Amino acid sequence: MFRKKTTTKLLQWIIGLALFVLFSGIAYGKEPPVVIAARGDDPLTEKQTYLQLIQAEQAWNTVKANASLVIAIVDTGVDLNHPDLQPNLVPGVNLLNSKKLPQDDNGHGTNVAGVLAAVGNNDKGITGIMWSAQIMPVKALEADGSGGEAKLAEGIRYAVDHGAKIVVLSLGINKYSALMSETVKYAEEQDVLLVAATGNEGNSVKYPAAYSTVLAVGGMTADGTADKRSNKGLEIDLVAPWDVFTTALGGDYEYKDGTSMAAPQVAAVAALAWSQHPGLKAYQIRQLLRQTAEDLGESGWDASTGYGLLRADRAVTEAPLVDMYEPNNRKDQAKSISISKMVTASFTGGSDLDWFYVDAPYDGTAELMFELQAGQQITVQHTDAAGTFTSVAADPGTPIQLKVSKGRSYVLLQLANRNVKTEVSYRLTTSFTIYRDQFEDNDRQFKAYVLPSQSLSITGTFHQEDDQDWFEFPVEQSGSLRIELSTDTARIDPVLFVQKQGEKAYTVDDNEDGVSETLQLPKIFPGSYYIRVNNVKEYSFPVNGEYTLTIHYDALHMDPNEPNGRSYQATTVSLGTPYYGLVDKAEDLDWYQFVLTEESLVQVDVTDIPDGTSMYLTMYDGTVKLLYSTSGAEALQIAQQLPVGTYYVKLNANVPFDRSFYKFVVDGKPIVGGFTDIRGHWAQDAVLALTQKQIVNGYDNFTFRPDQTITRAEATAILGRAFKLTQAQTISYTDVRTAHWAYTWIARAASKGIVNGYPDQTFAPDQPVSRMEMTSMIARSMNLTGEPRGTVPFTDVDDSYWGSGILKQMKAGGWISGYDNGAYRPDQQATRAEFVTMLTKIMP
* Residues known to be catalytic: 75, 108, 260
Give CB contacts under 8 A, 24+ apart, made by 87-91. 87/119, 87/122, 87/132, 88/117, 88/118, 88/119, 88/128, 88/130, 88/132, 88/133, 88/134, 88/135, 89/113, 89/135, 89/136, 89/137, 90/134, 90/135, 90/136, 91/136
CB atoms within 10 A of CB 286: 25
Phi, psi of 105 (to 5 degrees): -120, 15
Q: CA 782, 418, 769, 670 torsion: positive or negative?
A: negative
Q: Is 209 helix (H, G, I), strand (E, B) or coil?
A: coil
Distance CA 128, CA 78 (A): 15
Buried b (16+ CB within 10 A) or exposed e, 732-747: ebebbeeeeebbbbbb
Is 409:366 a contact under the CB 8 Å cutoff?
A: yes
Distance CA 431, CA 366 (A): 6
Residue 3 identity (one-letter amino acid) = R
CA angle 547, 553, 557 (to 5 degrees): 140
Distance CA 209, CA 214 (A): 5
Which pairing describes strands 468-475 and 505-508: parallel, antiparallel, or unpaired? unpaired
Q: Is 690 helix (H, G, I), strand (E, B) or coil?
A: helix
Q: CA 118, 121, 123, 127 torsion: positive or negative?
A: positive
> Is the peptide bond prior to 102 cis by the omega test (within 30 degrees of 0)?
no
Phi, psi of 160 (to 5 degrees): -65, -45
Task: List all residues 6 or more positions away from 503 whose beta carbon is below 8 Å from its beta carbon.
Answer: none
Task: List all residues 6 or more positions away from 107 whose beta carbon is below 8 Å from its beta carbon.
Answer: 76, 248, 249
CA dihedral 777, 783, 785, 789 (to 10 degrees): -120
Task: List all residues 6 or more positions away from 78 whose beta carbon is below 8 Å from its beta carbon.
Answer: 85, 89, 92, 102, 103, 104, 109, 110, 113, 135, 137
